[in-house]
Chain A
Amino acid sequence: MKTGLATVALGALAVALPWLAGAALAADKGEIVVFVPSSTNPYIGQFEKGAKAKAQELGYSVKAIENNFNQSEQDSQVQQQLASGEKVAGYIWWPFENAAGIGALRALSKSGAPVIVSNQFPLKGTDKFYTAYAGANDILSGKTAAEMLLKACADAKIKCGKGAIIRFPAGVSAGDDRVTGFEEAVKGKLDVISVTPTAGFLEDEGYKVAAQIIPANKGELTWIYTENDSIAGAAAQAARENGLTPGKDILIVGGTCHGDSSHVVNGDLVGTAIQSGYFEGWLAVQTLVKYIDTGKVEPGEVYLPADPDHPPADTGAPHKLNFLPNPAVGNTQAAYDQAKLWGKSIKELCNF
């Protein structure tokens, strides 16, 4: 009995110590609670880093509550957070499944604290449940990828016709939006013969699909769009294994720059675009604090400028929709080396 009690006490102490230490170090202006899927995904790890860096700069602390890619778990975390009665400066909400997480978003909004939605574009009819959106515009991401592909088709003098889309798993609204943006941009110019979802976001899952789709449609496929560079790199590998030279026999584009940059600079991919997890978290915190400081939200949307050297100012009210820029980057070593956004190089933003 005594041993059991001692074990429980030690366990409680082990849990409480880091919390107490964190509380002691908390910045003066308050705590921002960030709900995100697990940072075992490097992009999400970058998001947290960016959020913490910006919060520290602005005098706030961040408590990140991660779920293991599970909406039910995230819903439960929201209930526990709200039940704690803890006073917070605001919430940042990155739902694992956008539609399934609406109930939890509504609960957060009822707490009275401002709520910034990030990464997953808010669904129609949810406007009153969040203060503002700050993050990537996945429709723009798909459109940028399509534009890079169309330009590459023209430059390479390849007759681009039929092609395939390898997309994120079903239920990931960012995947839906990227396909929408891409298809709208290529409508009447390219022929999409298949849209196949992967089981995940990484190379191995992308390879699994690409290695089956490419040989089955050999001789037909002239391009592939994959929603990110990790999957695009795997598709390039699968293309080579099937005797197709990327950039010559088949054009491949991912459109978001996380992944092995060697596939971009060696011309396997037609190019890439900077979508930075670090700056997405950074922007979410900046947007929240701008609202806290001004108490206002401007209606409509704003596309933040893709300034290579200077990030957007911390002053003024945020808009309802605040989009990260998505600058395209060419597929040469020189273009890659020179690419910058808001004072950070593409290597810092994409090679994490």
Chain B
Amino acid sequence: MAPTSASAAGRRPFGRGTWRFAGLSVAAASLLLMAVAGLSTPSFLTVGNGLVIVRAASMTGIVAVAMSFVTLSGNLFALSASALGAFLAVVFALVTAAAGLGAGLGAVLVVAVAAGALQGVAVNLTGNPIIATLAFGAVFRGLASVLSGNGVLRINDAAATWIGTARPLGIPTQSWAFVILAALAWLTVRKTSLGRRILLSGANREAAVASGLRVAAVTGTALAILSVGAAIVAVFTVCQFSEARANLFNGYDFDYIAAVLVGGIALRGGQGSPLQAALGAVLIALLENLMLLNGFSAGLRMTIVGAVVVGATSAFHLLQDKT
């Protein structure tokens, strides 16, 4: 059985006050960081750099928003997201090269949903989302390697290039997708029955089961949503660079999880909103941008982001226990 400590802690199922406060905290932290950055780094507070930051947050943010469904459903995280992204990128490139963009998009969507559902079955069988998705990560990376023959798969499609490089109204397509998907995800969680089922499954699994909710199906749906998020990022990446490789997105899982954690979504599920994950991604992108512009070394950048994740997670954990 997946973790159900929410109920053990006796928390209220939805705790809106807490997650609203968490969301506001992230927004306030972002504003504070922007103010500090603006004063210390002249090139920071410009429209161009703002767009750069949103663009930098977009790819991580899309997966983080999708990952938030997994966390909210009480299944912690999926450690397979980066490997799944590479596998889907390879599938997309192979099918697009052979049968065109439409077929590539269709194939990647079908494979993504199937991969999510399969992971859902494994999580429900093992009762451990970390182990199950970690193992699936190895499977996906291995499949990507086998399918690509450890080579670079190139595509040559004008429409695909447009998807990857266009800037409608001066804003990159990836940023449009990020904003739209974050809004859709928020609406799904707050206004639909699926959202309520996800929150209840995460907040109090026993109550969810007792009320006739099919928790296993909710877990599978959350993982399928994550897979679709990974597919979107895979498609954008392949379209931007016109190629796919098995080692794409290596090491990105930490970035996805960090965005969810910094956003303040309850680790044990049931509390929070996909918007918080989106804000978390923007906050980390802000921080990364500031450090990059000031010439921080890679080690120092990694240390600071790691420290922010630890600090934010601890603070939100304390906050939850008090409410």
Q: A residues within 8 Å of B by Cβ?
A: 38-42, 44-45, 69, 169-170, 194, 196-197, 199-200, 202-204, 207-209, 211-213, 215-218, 233-234, 237, 241-242, 258, 260, 351-352
Q: Are A42 and B245 in contact (CB under 8 A)?
A: yes
Interface size class of B (residues with CB under 8 A): 35 or more
State the CA gap A22–B242 with chains docked (Å): 37
Q: Are B56 and A40 in contact (CB under 8 A)?
A: no
Q: Are A170 and B298 in contact (CB under 8 A)?
A: yes
Q: Are B167 and A241 in contact (CB under 8 A)?
A: yes
Q: Are B245 and A202 in contact (CB under 8 A)?
A: yes
Q: Are A260 and B241 in contact (CB under 8 A)?
A: yes
Q: Are B298 and A260 in contact (CB under 8 A)?
A: no
Check if B40 is an interface residue, CB within 8 A of chain A. no
Q: Are B49 and A40 in contact (CB under 8 A)?
A: no
B150, B165, B242, B247: the one contacting A260 at CB < 8 Å is B242
Check if B243 is an interface residue, CB within 8 A of chain A. yes
Return B63 CB to nearest CB of chain A, in Å. 13
Nearest to B243 among chain A residues (CB) is A260
Q: B residues within 8 Å of A by Cβ?
A: 43, 46, 48-49, 52, 55-56, 59, 141, 144-145, 149-152, 154, 165, 167, 172, 237, 240-243, 245-251, 289, 292-293, 295, 297-299
B246, B293, B298: the one contacting A197 at CB < 8 Å is B298
Nearest to A167 among chain B residues (CB) is B298
Residues of A within 8 A of B141 (CB): 40
A39, A44, A194, A351: the one contacting B152 at CB < 8 Å is A351
Q: Are B56 and A211 in contact (CB under 8 A)?
A: yes
Q: Are B247 and A211 in contact (CB under 8 A)?
A: no
Return A330 CB to nearest CB of chain B, in Å. 22
Q: Are A352 and B298 in contact (CB under 8 A)?
A: no
7 A-B pairs with least C-beta separation: A45-B150, A40-B246, A203-B241, A197-B298, A216-B43, A40-B247, A170-B298
Q: Are B154 and A260 in contact (CB under 8 A)?
A: yes
State the CA gap A352–B59 with chains docked (Å): 26
Q: Are A208 and B248 in contact (CB under 8 A)?
A: no
Given A170-B298, A200-B250, A215-B43, 4 more A-B residue pairs with CB atoms under 8 Å apart are A45-B149, A194-B295, A215-B48, A216-B293
Residues of B within 8 A of A242 (CB): 48
